[in-house]
Chain A
Amino acid sequence: MLEFFIRRLFVSSITLFLISLVVFTGLRLIPGDPARTLAGEDADESGLAEIRARYGLDQPIYVQYVRWAALAVRGDLGESIRTRIPVAQTVLQKLPITIQLSGYAILVAMVIAIPSGIFSALRRNSVWDYLVNGLSLSGLSIPNFWLGILLILLFSVRLGWLPASGFVSLFEHPLENLAHMVMPAFVLGTGLAAVLMRQTRNSMIEVMSADYIRTAYSKGLARRTVVLRHALRNGLIPVVTILGLQLGTLMSGAVITEQIFVVPGFGRLIVEAVFTRDYPLVQGVILVTASAYVLVNLLVDLSYSLLNPRIRVQGRTGDG
């Protein structure tokens, strides 16, 4: 158990190290003087000198990396070229909005996917099963930004029920917040729902054919009890893993969803940063996103190695 923990932590730290290397070199792959890249086009000589001193750009490359990484670990991701606001501060300000949007999206996805996945597993090869399968394939195939545009066309342009864009804080106007978030959350949740639907269906089918389910039936338990109390508990374990692995998809989706609905979150930040060639901001955002992915999946792995005794043993042979 402890060995699994240590092994998993070790693997994750290697991953984080590689991520930091990639992000560090990425900025240096941009043609031109890195000090100029970091300081922006309009920086003067003294500005460049300051940047060089700050990031030690006159030092050998490995010294530069160590300095950069040491600063990053302490939360210093440099500052934006445009606004001169520390990158970490901007990230902390935008991240909650995207987390909130993702939370709503996960909720939407689970509400749609889990019941319909269970339902189609129980009525395998029925019309309902095909319908759910068709829905899930459509959810995978529909470009979410087009779905967003269609929703805006219907609910904002045609019917005028929902605001097409913008963001209102949950704590200031809870209802307004919901009105603004319902379309983005649905758009972001669709792809996830499609994946979860399939996963729930497949894993429920597998679980329902297990011996212990047959035992439960032969004890004379009602189908309802067997499904809800016996099958669901194990059937949903892979679904939780998928949720962790889908974090990246969710982040990618947030980029485009926030763009369509003009939500001032993390995803919009990165697009803006790319267009304004705000390299430190791009670098910071990418570093934070990739690290978050590693940490969340580490937590998912560790938490159910605690919950499920079988994974505890098998985890040692996993490839991480």
Chain B
Amino acid sequence: MIKQEMILRNTMRQLGFESEEILPKGGFGAVLARAGVGKTAFLVQLALSGLLNEKKVLHISLNDPVDKVNIWYNELFRLLAAGDERVNKAAFLVSLLPNRFIMTFRVDGFSAPKLEERLNDLSEQGIFSPSIMIIDGLNFEDSRISDIKELKKLAEKRGMQAWFTVQTHRHEEMRTDIFPLSFAPFAGLFEIILELRHEHADVHIKVLRGSGSVGESALLDPTTMLIKDKF
């Protein structure tokens, strides 16, 4: 029961998408925002949503250690499940975690071949084979188009949906057709592009690219970093 309610509460439906399956297999999604607006929190919610739908999620962090990423999950899960006293939440979260794997790399040590090697290690031994991949902290300014294309090939080969955080800067303007200079060369590889923007007391989530939902927006509560309920 708690599972159903959490799925309903935390979905991409809030953004006008028809279902959770907004990315095709091998598809790329990007969440663009300035530092500190809530990119990681947003992607962890997407990951939790995937876990609730019994998907296997690989979370790659290029900035934070495993423990810190873990805290993000615990904290956001606690907030999402807040108020529901019927079940043992700790036990419920524990039941989801075997489907999540956290990998951290130093930024300079991350590459598609290295990731593929790690994934092969895991899948060959039957330990883990993800269907959703979150890549948090990749620096697009220092990346080459060929690097991202390699990642795309890997995602397609393994049938994974991949979500990226993209950091933007104060001076960079964003529109549905114009992306920040650092991200623009890569934009063609992404099926969905979302933007998080701090406006007054709220964080707005705006769809910049994505089938049929462009221009739709939702809100992120800046105190909890949860997507605000429309219902």
A, B in one complex: no
CB within 8 Å of A: which residues of B?
Answer: none
